Amino acid sequence: MTGSPFSVTAMDGAARAGVLQTAHGDIATPVFMPVGTAATVKGMTADSVRATGAQIILANTYHLMLRPGADRVAALGGLHRMMDWPGPILTDSGGFQIMSLAGLRKLDADGVTFRSHLDGSAHRLTPERAMHIQYLLDATITMALDECTPFPATEREAEASMLLSMRWAARSREAFVARDGYHQFGIVQGGVYPDLRRRSTEALLGIGFDGYAIGGLAVGEGQAVMFSVLDASVGLLPADRPRYLMGVGTPDDLLGAVARGVDMFDCVIPTRAGRTGRAFTSQGVLNLRNASHATDDGALDPACDCPACTRHARGYLHHLFRTREMLGPMLLTWHNLRYYRNLMAGLRQAIMLGRAAAYSAAVRAAWISKDAAEGASIDE
């Protein structure tokens, strides 16, 4: 392995605070990445995303391959210029779509052929093609192409999927164009089977990547199983490389994963919840569609400094959702991303002070206060 762009600045148990250096700016960890699948965080301008405190955002190879096309993104100056986002961008390679669009793809040893969910046209994705597309997109962090193993899967099925992903990882590494400050992450697979996770990690370490993602979780196995897999596998990853748990998750998921040594996260939950009227707050999850908020002149979350909380009352936010005004989802998306950012910033500070466990306990205790009973789980 070459020198690492990542440094750990503090530890509290297994929890880590660190800094990842990139060509587009440094990233303080632990960090949550807002999802901008199609080169936009839904309902947000680039300025509003910046105002949430986001350091890095995620875009998606498969969706941008379909439209507008990687060549067109490159002609428009790459994602950073096209999106007005000069900061770091991580691009998912399309491995999740191999699982989620199973009815629209044909998988083989060399790669995968998709039938576009938009118009049925055929599109081929191989490890080499996925790396080239991400190069054209000008991704700061490029993800190796993998097959995201579905849940449930037998151990034999998970092993076959993992071995395919490891072959693709080697090809992805070979095809990656190394540039100063640009990084490539490999993805650990193996389903819920600790021995497969160990073998996958060993294969990826033999190839050598700038960071390591933990894939194939948060796909239906439940939090307890996810945490048990993390317990068995995070410690196998090198201490001097960033660790990224893909597609996770709820605030409680983040607290638990950071405590187990994970550094980076992404998920659609805060933005999707914002579009459907659900707010993550310091007192739990609130549903702004509920009639109980109609005449409430209080702040959505007194502990938050976003525009939804400092400039508007709950009653107004309720009104926006009841009348289906687009401002409601915009404000609540902003709030949820700000909440996630504040949660990560608080965790980072707590780790540096040696108080990570106490911080997480206090956050969880506040969730079960008087308002938390209203918050149903977010159905993703």
Long-range contacts of residues 367-373, Cβ cutoff 8 Å, at least 24 apart: 367/251, 367/252, 367/283, 367/284, 368/284, 369/283, 369/284, 370/283, 371/281, 371/283, 371/284, 371/286, 372/283, 372/284, 372/285, 373/284
**Total residue count of the chain as it appears in this document:** 380
| Beta-ladder partners of 285 | 280
Active-site residue flag, 92: yes
Catalytic residue among 92, 138, 210, 263: 92
Q: Which own/partner contact pairs does 255-258 have at CB distance under 8 Å and 24+ positions apart?
A: 255/343, 255/347, 255/360, 255/363, 255/364, 256/223, 256/227, 256/230, 257/227, 257/230, 258/15, 258/30, 258/347, 258/351, 258/356
Angle at Cα 350 formed by Cα 346 and Cα 355, nearest 5°? 140
Query: What's the rounded Cα separation, in Å, for the pair 150 and 100?
Result: 9
Residue tagged 């910033």 (tokens): 345
Give the C-alpha separation, 303 to 60, whole Å. 33
CA distance 254 to 266: 10
- Residue 130: both structure tokens together: 């996925």
- Catalytic-labelled residue, pool 12, 138, 263, 266: 266
Distance between CA atoms of residues 329 and 183, nearest Å: 34
Catalytic residues: 92, 266
